[in-house]
Amino acid sequence: MNHPREDRRRPDSVPRSMLPGALVFREEDGHGGGGGPVRRTARDWVVDALAFAWAVGWWALLVTRLSTYSYLPDWLVALDAPLGAVACLSLWWRRRFPLLVALALVPAGALANSVVGAGMVIILNLGLRVPWQRSVPVLCLMIATVAPYVLIYSVPYEGGWAAAGFVLAYYLAFFAWGSALRARRMLVLRLRDDADRERAEHARRLADTRRAERTAIAREMHDVLAHRISLLSVHAGALAYRTRRADAGAGPALSGAEIAESAQVIRDNAHQALNELRDVLYVLRTDSGDSTDSGEIAPPQPKMADLEDLVEEARATGQTVDFRTEGTEGARSPRPQLQRTVYRVVQEGLTNARKHAPGSHVTVRVRADSGTSGTSGTSGTEMTVVVTNPLPADTAESEIPGAGAGLTGLHERVELEGGTLQHGSVDGTFTLRARLPWH
């Protein structure tokens, strides 16, 4: 929420000193009626000084002509100059108390000619700063109170009914001018409020976009690196385990060839992790398409055909994996995004089993079921991925640490495909099941 005295200017707007205070500060909200102290800008001070000089000039001119009004009573001539002077001085309070200053003009305008200059400013100020529900009755009161003077003195001695028409036009013209300025000022304030709301909405959308980008990056990084690093952990753990047993005399010592082979496997997986990380960053940094402006070819994304290689990698670490596909051979090839999601579900299932249930038997089933899809009953196919593994009795010592965000990211990925993800343990068996629409 903006502070009442917050500066409303924009970095690319005109200088604050060149704007009215009502558009720069928030004491005046465009509805007028007075209130707290008014903070004037340099422009306001110039306008106020010119308005005061204008009023004083008219006052001085008309006071010098009072002696020519021989048809006026002496008491009315005596009151004219003081009332005009008070009206001129009241202009310095017209911003803070527009309604009170206008009400003070009612008796002064009905009795004194020298208030003409100050009256112009006060009537215009009434239309500018006071809502029409209150300003119109005050304007009518001004016209009603000046009517006796016009009928008694102006019509007989100052030009007839043309003088009466001039007085009426005087009040209406300056009030209309002020009302037009008020309408324009309120339009500017409304446009600024709309711009503020649009900026806030843009900032919210930008924050949501950045949050979605961070989520996508976290999801991709986890899906790629968690699997590959868990393989590294298994190989390194096996090498350390056999080395400790050999040192303790509980098993044969590792030969140089075995150590070299294990080191090569670790090295290859580390390189593969870096390559996959590069591919993920490439996808996140570029738009959709097969190539960039530089001619670089986009790296291939995981497909269902790569599931065999994924399973073989898991088996190479000592995992026992039973992998089968059902109903996918004769079906039309799924779209690339769906194949990628199926791959990530199987990858996450194998990674979780390797981390939380090492040595357990893992069953992977990928099945395409024909049926109906959607509320319209149109023909379609549903892809189901199920990964199961028994839970060990105690995994406190062998469990590989993880971020705990894999299933969360996988749930988001499946939801983006319009599918559902279920996971949990029943009777000592953990099941990860994803159901994906395949239209």
Contact between 312 and 412 under an 8 Å Cβ cutoff? The reply is no
Contact between 328 and 368 under an 8 Å Cβ cutoff? The reply is yes
Question: Got the DSSP string for 131-196?
Answer: -HHHHHHHHHHHHHHHHHHIIIIIHHHTTTHHHHHHHHHHHHHHHHHHHHHHHHHHHHHHHHHHHH
Query: Which is it for strands 320-326 and 361-373: parallel, antiparallel or unpaired?
Result: parallel
> Quick count: other Cβ atoms within 10 Å of Cβ 291?
10
The model carries a pTM of 0.48
Report residue 27: phi and psi, to 5°: -65, -40
Of 113, 104, 97, 86, nearest to 170 by C-alpha is 113
- For the chain (length 439 residues), average pLDDT per consecutive 10? 43 58 53 52 86 92 85 87 92 90 89 90 91 91 89 82 88 92 87 88 86 73 69 73 74 75 76 72 58 50 85 84 81 79 88 83 87 44 90 60 65 84 88 87
Instruction: Specify the pLDDT at position 380.
Output: 56
Instruction: Specify the pLDDT at position 432.
Output: 93
User: Which residues are CB-neighbours of 168 under 8 A, at least 6 positions away?
Assistant: 143
